[in-house]
Amino acid sequence: MCGILFALSPGGIDGLSSSFVPCVRERIRARGPDAFGKFQHEVAGWNLEYESSVLHLRGPCESPTIQPHVDDDGNVLCWNGEIWQMGGEAGFDSLQCCNENDGSKLFRILKENDEDVESVLRLIQGPFAFVYYQKSKNTLWFGRDRLGRRSLLYHQEQERFILASVSHGKEFQEVPPGFYAFNLQDNHPSTPIHPFPSAFVPFHLLPLSIEIPISSSIETPLETFYAQLSESLKDRVLTIPSSNESYNNIQQTKIITPRLAVLYSGGVDCGVIARIIHDILPPNEPIDLINVAFENPRFMDTFVNADAADCFTSIPDPYNVCPDRQTGLQGWSELMNVCPGRIWNFIAVNVPYSEALKNKDLVTSLIYPNDSIMDFSIGLAFYFASKGEGVLLQSFDDIQKNHSCSPYKTPAKVLFSGLGADEQLGGYMRHLRAFERRGMEGLDEELKLDIERIPHRNLGRDDRVMSNQGKEVRYPFLDERLMALLSKMPTSSKMRLDLVGGDKLILRELARKLQTPLVGQEKKRAIQFGSKAAKMESGTGRTSGKKKL
């Protein structure tokens, strides 16, 4: 994960002199706390300024790869992403994480394919946003992957065009998925740049044509799905540098720190991810499970009023009554039973109402240009979850003494999310409504629409919020090869919305196959409701989540 800040302006004008730039720069540095670099040059009368921060995860383990990438020929690359596969490119092995930084390797490939930059960019499988200056063509390229898994925003004034991973809260808009080209030689700096995107040549990224066998004579759709999801997770798990080891002199034992954490509600999406990660990592490595719960005064008022009416003998703990806390503890217990040799660190992130209020303005600013009440509630939940700071539960006994457990903050730089399962496997109520109205045709159209709007609804917002903690989020269900497989499977092999509990059916069957039936039976619950991050104030119970802040 990295942060990008770039400005294009006429020569002699400081493109990064706007009053909001210090705030944006601070957030760019927060995204990549391990290194920060700058580069500036003038081309054909234009001033180009690049700034980039680095969260070090790929390349030589002993030192971070400094960005921007600059070569002797004058090419420049700011890269924020991960390349899992690259269209058959020889030697691009994503699992060799310590041999070479993937941004460095891409920079070299772009130079070697100087006449066909477009084709190189189209072949990349993985999340990315980038800015690339191609010296030989005097062309500026920039953009995002086809799903928009990495944020890239633009801001335009009469004399400057700015690109950034995150904004200060206003006047920025999202760069649509795909990439764009601007020829500096053909556009004279004395003429104002036309409003984006009219002055920029667009290149739309269609779904990759990936040949994935659906099944063989000996494989069922479930087995094929399981195999491809496992491959997706191997790419994303084994490319994280190995856990650090230290020695406890008092107990005379090795201490191994977790290399990753799972955003964990106890639902089927994150539950299956955690269970398969167990099969990939060495058994002596701990795995952190992050579970967030909010003190919600409006929700707690229902218990206060009931207590006044003698319906309760005592008012319950505000965090333990959150649905996601209850299912999270249940799923954690199941994992400890099924995988007893593993240390499963359950991080109970408890957010007081006062702390949520204190961070309201910051989260509102980070989610922008998303600006609905629902965006804020989701952003608030992910903001505190990605901090990974709470109390540590490590055994069944700790459940009863929750609040007296030791404070803990995950050392993991990489978080895993189950986002993408609902969109592809019929997990939302709107999928059921579409099926009830128009049958399989209506369901298929709704599923397609969900994938098309996921960059604008979810991914850019979530990236901006969680990366502010110096964390990278990885989405195994949004692996291009897995998505290609699921798109070719018959809908009835993936879900049966004519059955009770038939949403995400193939994933629920996989949970049972992996001996985690409890998570396999959990119903869909949005994080803002499961964690009680939504509608905290009195009188907001009927407020629409689509309402603007």
Q: Where are the alpha helices (DSSP H) in 67-220?
A: 102-112, 117-123
**Cα first-last separation, the chain:** 29
- Find the helix or strand (DSSP H, E) in which 253 lies: strand 253-256
SS3 33: strand
SS3 176: coil
Residue type, 104: S
520 in Cβ contact with 508 (< 8 Å): yes
418 in Cβ contact with 434 (< 8 Å): no
* Token pair recorded at residue 367: 């989610």
Distance from C-alpha of 367 to C-alpha of 460, rounded to nearest angstrom:
8
541 in Cβ contact with 535 (< 8 Å): yes
Distance from C-alpha of 397 to C-alpha of 440, rounded to nearest angstrom:
48
SS3 82: coil
19 in Cβ contact with 1 (< 8 Å): no
389-393 and 344-351: which strand pairing?
A: antiparallel
Residue type, 46: W
All residues at 6 or more sequence positions from 411 whose CB lies less than 8 Å from its CB, including other chains: 244, 257, 258
50 in Cβ contact with 6 (< 8 Å): yes
* Token pair recorded at residue 277: 């990660």
Which residues, listed in sequence order, are joined to residue 2 by a DSSP beta bridge? 54
Q: Which long-range contacts (CB under 8 A, 24 or more apart) does 374-379 make?
A: 374/528, 374/534, 374/545, 374/546, 375/461, 375/549, 376/549, 377/528, 377/533, 377/534, 377/535, 377/545, 378/461, 378/462, 378/526, 378/527, 378/528, 378/533, 379/461, 379/462, 379/465
Counts of helices then strands in the chain (DSSP H, E) = 18, 23
Backbone angles phi and psi of 429, in degrees to 5: -60, -30
- Other C-beta atoms closer than 10 Å to the C-beta of 398 total 17
Q: Which of 317, 219, 240 is nearest to 285 (CA)?
A: 240
- Name the region of 249 (left: φ>0; alpha: ψ -120 to 50; beta: rest): alpha
425 in Cβ contact with 507 (< 8 Å): yes
Backbone angles phi and psi of 251, in degrees to 5: -90, -10
**Catalytic annotation, pick one of 2, 270, 322, 339:** 2
- Whether 2 sits among the annotated catalytic residues: the reply is yes
Catalytic residue numbers read 2
